[in-house]
Amino acid sequence: MQPTLVTWALVVFGVVTLIPLVLAQLAMLIKPDSRKTRDIIIGKREEWRDTTHFRFGLGAAWADWLLFVPVFVAGSAGVLLGQAWGYVLFGAAGACSLYVNIILWFTEKEYVFPSRGPLRYYTYYWGFFVYWGALALAYSVLRMSGVEL
């Protein structure tokens, strides 16, 4: 299962989409309640809505760095090497991204949509994560089924 142009496009789309997120979450892990972290995670001069919002952000940062990032990195390497296990991990990363970001797409809309507007909301703020997750999962299933794209 040699990588194709579609493989490379999905890996690059994933990397470009995820790098800002994982860097922001790294800030959350290093200094969880600093002004700089709040500015990065929730917006300049904004505060955590409540302790649950803060705890969710911190929990998501830990979960992503312990589970999602390693699966995404290993899956990306595996698909670029043309390995079946790479497609399994890449699809798993896509499923994780799709699952959590569909939830966030709805739960964060009340707060993020008004301040960012529809274009940014449906692209970088949750949209790209949902789109990439769906594409990575579908692509991995198709490739594991023997379909060449």
- What's the confidence (pLDDT) of residue 106? 86
- What's the confidence (pLDDT) of residue 6? 96
- What's the confidence (pLDDT) of residue 109? 80
- What's the confidence (pLDDT) of residue 42? 80
Pairwise CA distance, residues 148 & 6, whole Å: 10
Q: What is the pLDDT of residues 92-110, one digit of tens each?
A: 999 999 999 899 888 888 8
The answer to whether the beta carbons of residues 27 and 40 sit under 8 Å apart is yes
- What's the confidence (pLDDT) of residue 16? 95
In order of 97, 102, 107, 131, the CA distances from 134 in angstroms are: 8, 10, 19, 5
| Residues 6 or more apart whose Cβ sits within 8 Å of residue 99 | 133
In order of 49, 54, 76, 112, 120, the CA distances from 43 in angstroms are: 12, 13, 30, 9, 14
Q: What is the pLDDT of residues 115-139, one digit of tens each?
A: 778 888 888 777 899 999 999 999 9
Pairwise CA distance, residues 37 & 26, whole Å: 9
Under the banding of pLDDT at 50, 70 and 90, the label for residue 32 is: very high
